[in-house]
Amino acid sequence: MKKCLLLPFLAVVFTPLFAQVMGNYGVQQQTYQNVQPNVQFRAIPKSATFLNNNEVEISINALSNQKAESYTAIFSMLQVGKTADETNTLLNSRLDGFLADLKTLGIPAADIYVDMVNFLPKYEYDVSKKLFSKKTYTEIPKGFELQKNIHIRYTTPALLDRILAAALRRRPSAAEKAETTCGLPSGPVRLRLPAGVHVPPPSTVELARLLDIRPGERVLDLGCGSGLLSLAAAKQGAGQVVAVDIDPRALDATVENARLNGFSDRIETRAGSWYEALAEGGRFDAIIATPPQTPGRRPFGPRYGGADGTRHLCAVIDGAPGRLDPERGRLWLAVISIANVPGVTARLRERFTRVEIAGETERPFTAREYDAMDEGLFEYLESLRRRGAAQFHEVFGGEYVFRNLFIRASGVNAP
C-alpha cells in the first residue's frame, strides 16, 4: 500500500516551489460462491439467492480506505550553469547536502533513489532582419541545464515537514542572481535577475527593439520588471526614465541594472500601480507598458488580465492622455491576441488620432500550459475565440499560436 507525494523542488532562482499530493487507496473484498475461478477482484452482479436451510447468498462490492504502509516523496532539482562542468558541480553540491540531511532524519540510503531527468544546453535567440527577408532567429549558446529527481520512501507521515525543511535549505539563496544579455539595435543590455524577477520574454525584447525614443525625452515605463524597457529607452538617449512597479524586487532589479549599464543618473524608480505613483501634472514624451493580459474566468496569478484580458490594458490606455505631451506624446503597448484586440484598438482610437501596429511576432503555446495556470483555462480561451474576443489557431499536433502585437498610438485626443 503506497501513497505518492510529488513535490517539485525549487531549483533555480526564479523557479516557483509547488506541490501536488495524490493518493487514493481502494480495496475490494468479496466472498461469494459458484463463480468462475478466472474472475479476480471483481464481484459478479447477482440477485440474492435462497439456498437450503434458509440461507441467502448475496454478492457485495466494497470500497474502504486503508492506512498506508509507506509514502513516497519525489523532488525535482534543477540547476543552470555557464558550462557543463560548472552545472554538474553546482547541482551535485546541493544534492550531496540534501542527501546528508535525509540521513540525519533516519532515512536509509536504500529508501532514496536519484535519477537523471535531462542535461541540456540552453540558448538565447538573436533576431536580425535583412532588407529583403523576414526576421532571422539565430540560436546563441548560453549555458546548460541539469535536472535530477530524488525519490524518498518514508513510513511516518509526520516526517514530511522535516523532509520539506531539508529540501528548502538546498534551494539557491535569494542573493543569487541569474544574468543574461539582450541584444538591441542601440547595443547590448546586461541584466541581473534576482529571485522573483523573471527573464524578459521575447515579446518584451522585441518591443525594446522597436521603440523610437529621441534624445532628451522623458519616458514612463509602467510595470518595469527587470528594467529592460527603461534601459532600452536610456540607450536611445532618453533624458529621464521613470520606472514604475508594484513589486519591490522588480524595482531593486531595475536600480541594479541601471547601475550595471551606466544609467543610474537617468533612470529612477517609483513604487505603485500604473499612474498612482506619479506626481500630479507630470508629462512624458513616451509611455511604455506590457501589462498582464491573459483572460480568465477568475483571478489565477500575476498574468491575469480580467475576463477578456483588457482590464490592465484599459487602465493604461485611459490614463495615458493625461500623462503624455499633447504634441509629441505616444504610447507603446505589447498586446497578445488571446486578449480582446478589437476592444483594445477601439479604446485606443477613442484616446488617440493615430493607432498603428508597428510589428508582430508569433507565440506558440499548448493547452496544458494554460490549464496549468488555472484548471479549464484553455477551454475558456476557446469560448472567447468562438465569440471573436480572442485570436489564436492550431498549427499541428495540439500546438497553438497567438500573436504578439506591438502597438504605437500617438496624437492625443483632447478630453
Do 2-24+66-168 and 177-412 have matching folds? no
Residues 6+ apart with CB under 8 A from 296: 304, 305, 306, 307, 373, 374, 377, 380
Residue type, position 172, single letter: P
Instruction: Dump pLDDT digits (tens) for 278-312.
Output: 988 789 999 999 999 999 999 998 899 999 999 99
Whole-angstrom distance, CA of residue 218 vs CA of residue 245: 17
Residues 381 and 308: beta-carbon distance below 8 Å: no
pLDDT the model gives residue 83: 83
Residues 6+ apart with CB under 8 A from 228: 182, 189, 191, 200, 204, 205, 208, 257
pLDDT the model gives residue 190: 92
Q: Note the pTM of the prediction, 2 decimals.
A: 0.62
Mean pLDDT by 10 residues, the chain (415 residues): 44 35 36 43 55 74 77 87 82 88 88 87 63 57 83 87 84 67 91 85 94 97 97 97 95 95 96 90 94 95 94 97 95 97 97 96 90 93 96 90 97 84
Domain ranges of the chain: 2-24+66-168, 177-412
CATH code for residues 2-24+66-168: 3.30.70.2970
* CATH class of the domain whose range is 177-412: alpha beta
Cell of 126: 538573436
